[in-house]
Amino acid sequence: MVSFDLQRMLLGELPLTFLLEVACRVLAAFLAVFLFLKSSGRRGIKQLSRFELVVILTLGSAAGDVTFYEDVPLLPVALVFLTLLLLYRGTVYLMTRSKACEAWIDGLPITVVKDGMYEIHSLRNMNISSNELFMELRQQGVEHLGQVRLGLLETDGDLSLYFYDGQDTRAGLSVLPAEHRPEYVKLPAAGVYCCVSCGYPVYLDAEGSVACTRCGHDVWSPALETLRGR
């Protein structure tokens, strides 16, 4: 072996003309993925469900292999794409015919905020941290949970929010970062506080340590009552 052999380092045992073949393979893979997405009827990547994401990842694997492995022929990969398209179409057909099948494959919207409070079990089952939820809420202009009547985590990962009218806004837990939201184990004074664990708002007139009657945790933050856009 010769050290620093450019032919070995850059192409191995392949001829230089293989680079042209790689370009043709990339073009073929690109066209195949493009035609698949166009045939699937989806309007955008953001609308992909979990099932569709699995299909796209499988397509990516097949397209990646055919682009630069010289021993991978094009026709078998084309058959992979065709099979995936038929599988996708068949699955979509079953989902339109059966609500149970649709729910099993795509899932259902999950309630994460209701009546200005966390849905604790939903967050735990979905492995979503409060910080992740707070980020999503802040990005939609929410300052505290009391502004939100209902929050749904959609099957595509988006968060849909339904707000209280201004006069119906409740006292709620701040969704601001920790440096903008004081938290107490021992209450400094009487007032309306929200449980940091579940968002439960309550007036507490006793100073010291108090456990939440909804979830049992004892960390509290002063409730906010600001209206949206104020």
CATH 1.10.3470.10 fits 110-222, yes or no: no
Contact 151, 160 (CB under 8 A): yes
Tell me, what's the pLDDT at 26?
76
Q: Are 148 and 185 in contact (CB under 8 A)?
A: no
* Residue 172 pLDDT: 94
Rounded average pLDDT per 10-residue block, the chain, 230 residues: 72 76 79 71 56 76 73 74 81 85 80 90 76 89 94 85 91 91 90 92 84 90 86
3-state DSSP call for residue 134? Answer: helix
Residue-level pLDDT at 146: 95
CB atoms within 10 A of CB 72: 14
Q: What is the pLDDT of residue 129?
A: 77
pLDDT at 29: 76
Residue-level pLDDT at 43: 44
Helices (H) then strands (E): counts for the chain: 7, 9
Q: Where are the domains of the chain?
A: 7-104, 110-222
Q: Are strands 186-187 and 208-209 parallel, antiparallel or unpaired?
A: antiparallel
